[in-house]
Amino acid sequence: MTQGKELRPAAAKDMGLIDAVATDKADMFKQAKDWINANPSAQQPWDKKGFKIPGGDSKHPSIVPIFSIAPAMANQKSHGNYPAITHIMSCVFEGCLVDIDTGLELESRYFAACVLSAESRNMINTLWTQLNSIKKGQSRPDGFERYKTKKVGILGAGMMGAGIAYVTAKAGIDVVLLDTEMAGAEKGKSYSATILDKAISRKRSTEEKKQALLNRIKPTVFYEDLAECDLIIEAVFENREIKAKCTQQSEAVIPNTAVYASNTSTLPITGLAKASTRPNQFIGLHFFSPVDKMPLVEIIMGEQTDDATLAKAFDYVLQIGKTPIVVNDSRGFYTSRVFGTYVSEGVAMLGEGVHPRSIEVAGMKTGMPMPPLALQDEVSLSLALHVSEQQQLDMKAEGKPIAVRPSYEILKTLVKEHNREGKKNGKGFYEYADNGDKYLWPELMDLYPAKAEQPSQQDLIDRLMFIQANESAKCYQENVVRSVADTNIGSIFGWGFAPHQGGTLQFINAMGLEAFITRSRELVTQYGERFEPAQILLDMADKGEVFADD
């Protein structure tokens, strides 16, 4: 109940939550009528005289320990961010001390408290209203018929390419999985087999379904095999020269009508499209890892990408069962740009002398799925360093002022002086044991000693939340994101921004613009100019506006 876990009918019957399972509507009515005829004087168990709760009520010695431990166990996962969990446990505890009618009255009051909570408003607004608007095509251009992608060519059979191949084939679309070596392409295909074997072991798939899916994936090293593809997705290393070569070799063989998409997470699409002879059909499709589990795809429009291409890309994302958001071209786009502020802020705190354990606890208290240092390890310190250095080179080449995040020097020290690249080499901010355990690297405290006077936990939480929300507001101001719905959904589905807050812009709405601006300026005074509220927030506050789509 506290986790909202969904059950299949057979499992619910085994637990006693339902009495019977029917094969179809006619069988259901037959079973119901037969039961009514066999039980003319039916009563619910709790309406019968002398009824006692099975196993004992809330005061029973065998039950008391459960209610002593359950709140702590729930709080360990929710960190108090979801009032519904406490309300549910209260319903059960108090309801088992009174008669059924009083228990139902108590439950109705707790339900009302849930409905009227800020968390409920945030989540319903974003995860129901705005999400449904996106799925109905709010961000899809008008005037184009729905397009059904028939064959997808995927360049690069690494983790991302293999994952894209799986979700595409699962949707019934033929896939050509191309890599530089046949062994790599075959390995990419085997990723799908591994997922399906696990599903079969859990009785969620069959050998026949597995074989049918695998038959749709053709591993290859020949570009000629892309000849009939109507969509190409490039998922190779983040290197402009390699990507340009892939574009040119593909366009030499694919149909003139085919869409070409890059799965880049940081490199601007407009720049990558310069290698294309048809930049109007060049678009970004940014998937998230692991592709089979992550629900979002960020669609990036280059300066020359046309609406027909966007419509086809949007339809493909829905076809494979993912949620599309549409953003305009920019360095880091939307999700990578804002996600980077979260991990960077956590790393910056370490350099300031904040105890690493305090940083991680604050990260969990925000409602994010992982704390910043652990998450940076997962993403890879070396990759973050590479992206930062590439950005600095690009900005220098463009004659723009070079902005370096406060985390840069720390990443450089750990990667280049201590060979700590993150989870991938078993050494990052954490140490990774062979048995799967991890713990903060003890020498972090030597490199970055904790100051005697530590900031409050609320300060740490606010820094981690405000830096993301403010950067999202800047993305909205700069027209990087095209709608409030895309911004909120992208933040939750893309990098796990605290769902109970309803997304980055809803976080600002719920707090109120004036309060957000006031607190931002306090953070500026204490921690730096990066917390200066975006101009759009000041303008909206003057007009009494909030973030909302028309």
Domain ranges of the chain: 9-119, 151-331, 335-479+483-550
Please determine whether the domains at 151-331 and 335-479+483-550 fall in the same fold group of CATH: no
User: What pLDDT shows up at residue 129?
Assistant: 97
| Model pLDDT, residue 331 | 82
CA distance 455 to 444: 18
Query: In the chain, helix, strand, coil percent, each to 5?
Result: 55, 10, 35
pLDDT digits (tens, 9 = 90+) for 38-52: 999 999 989 988 899
Q: Are the CB atoms for 139 and 323 separated by under 8 Å?
A: no
CATH code for residues 335-479+483-550: 1.10.1040.50
Calpha distance 318→288 (Å, rounded): 15
**What was the pLDDT predicted at 4?**
85
pLDDT at site 242: 95
Spatial separation of the C-alpha atoms in residues 421 and 378, rounded to whole Å: 10
Query: Alpha helices of 202-304 — where are they, by DSSP H?
Result: 207-215, 240-251, 269-272
Distance CA 102, CA 95 (A): 7
Beta bridge partners of 444: none
Please measure the distance between the N-terminal and C-terminal CA atoms of the chain and give it in whole angstroms.
36
Element spanning 298, H or E: strand 296-301
Evaluate whether 326 touches 139 at the Cβ level (below 8 Å): yes
State which H helix or E strand residue 219 sits in.
strand 217-220
* Positions of the chain with pLDDT lower than 50, given as ranges: none
Helix extents (H) in 125-236: 131-135, 159-170, 182-201, 207-215
Residue 228 CA to residue 245 CA, distance in Å, equals 20
Q: Which of 134, 133, 496 is nearest to 326 (CA)?
A: 134
User: Residue 550's pLDDT is what?
Assistant: 74
At the top level of CATH, which class does the domain 151-331 belong to? alpha beta
| pLDDT computed for residue 81 by the predictor | 95
Two tokens, residue 65: 């320990």
Task: Report the C-alpha gap between 224 and 457 in whole angstroms.
Answer: 58
Q: Provide the token pair at 487.
A: 């911004």
Residue 401 pLDDT? 78
